[in-house]
Amino acid sequence: MTDASPDTSPTAFRISCIQTRPVMLDVAGNLARQVELIRTAAAEGSQLVVLPECSTTGWCFTSADEVRTVAETVPDGPTCSSWLALCRELDIHIVAGIVEADGDRLFNAAVLLGPTGHLGTFRKAHLWAIEKELYSPGDLGFPVFETPLGRIAMHICYDGWFSEAYRLPALCDADLLCVPANWVPIPSQPDHLPKMANMLCCTHAHMNLVYIAAASRVGVERGQPFIGSSVIVDHSGWPLAGPASEHEETVISAVIDPVGSRAERTGNPFNQPLLDRRTDVYSVAATV
């Protein structure tokens, strides 16, 4: 477990990204391993835990029919119920990726849960590869949820390749963006450079003045490798914890202060990436 330096601000808190190696379709086993790691993070002081995308089911489904064998309703399905019980017992918040069933529709979703119950759901907006054949596109937008820890938003994995997935929550005053992910190798990625997913987190945290906590996974599933590299980034764009291992289950942690940093993030009189936006010219297309 890795950890950033402590902070003495009264609004600061410890956050952990739990990087796991789920087994395809083994919901009970994957959940049991999560519970073990969540308890460890909470015992060490974490108040918010972020889990990967499709965290209890695996990701490499072959058909929508296979997805339906493990999809659950939110928030009253068995997995959310287990997470909610942990939130109440340990007095923590959890953001986690889950396969959601809503009537006949299936969603790659993420939930925000706390000691008081279900606080919000996000449904993946940008579906990647075979996901287009498995899920309905997300229909909830990019909401921001008020919590005792600050204003929290979510998106999932491939959403992070679209600027709007960062900018829209930032424009709605998000303090922290939590990203359940299953990052995969990019074939053109040079070995000596940081992972593209990590660079996107750092760049957009800087551009949008938000903290970002991204929890990815490791392992090989039905021939598809995953790269881990979970990371926690501050609002200036610098990593506070991670990138984590590319191959091992691990927990990375940092102390962040989303509420306490609001004045700092919005008070610079010269350079304000959000306030300095030129919305008057963005709709103008010109060919020179």
53 is a catalytic site residue: yes
Question: For the range 229-234, what are the long-range contacts, defined as Cβ-Cβ under 8 Å and sequence gap of 24 or more?
Answer: 229/183, 229/195, 229/197, 229/198, 230/17, 230/19, 230/181, 231/17, 231/198, 231/201, 231/202, 232/4, 232/15, 232/17, 232/256, 233/201, 233/202, 233/205, 234/205
Task: Label each residue of the chain as H, E or C.
Answer: CEECCCCCCCCCEEEEEEEECCCCCCHHHHHHHHHHHHHHHHHCCEEEEECCCCCCCCCCCCCHHHHHCCCECCCCCHHHHHHHHHHHHHCCEEEEEEEEEECCEEEEEEEEEECCEEEEEEECCCCCCCHHHHCCCCCCCCCEEEECCEEEEECCHHHHHCCHHHHHHHHCCCCEEEEECCCCCCCCCCCCCCCHHHHHHHHHHHHHCCEEEEECEEEEECCEEEECCCEEECCCCCEEECCCCCCCCEEEEEEECCCCCHHHHHCCCCCCCCCCCCCCCCCCCCCC
- Point out the catalytic residue in the list 124, 178, 195, 201: 124
124 is a catalytic site residue: yes
- Point out the catalytic residue in the list 17, 53, 87, 202: 53
157 is a catalytic site residue: yes
- Point out the catalytic residue in the list 17, 54, 157, 201: 157
Say if residues 51 and 18 touch (Cβ distance below 8 Å): yes
Q: Which residues are catalytic?
A: 53, 124, 157
